[in-house]
Amino acid sequence: MFLKDIEGSRPEGKSRYADGIRASEAAGTPVAGIWRLFAWRPPLAEHLSRLTQEAMRGASPLPPGLRELIAAFTSARNRCLF
């Protein structure tokens, strides 16, 4: 993630992403940058989440499990936490 204002900030308020970030930080677990973006702009998170669900679960010649495997492999190759 390259949004410096978001990257180093602690989320304020209550949302499932802000709560998840605080819980991960308290446990010493790395936090995926996308969570900070979602906590920063919840309406953006809603749209991005719907897009992702459509890509991963919508009509396709590939079954959802294979799409998840491709996404996981790509994330691992990119050294991404999610």
Q: What is the pLDDT of residues 33-77, one digit of tens each?
A: 788 888 888 888 888 889 989 999 999 999 999 999 999 999 899
Query: Helices marked H in the chain — which ranges?
Result: 4-7, 16-27, 33-40, 42-57, 64-77
The amino acid present at 37, given as its one-letter code, is L
Q: What is the pLDDT of residues 18-31, one digit of tens each?
A: 888 889 989 998 88
pLDDT at 14: 80
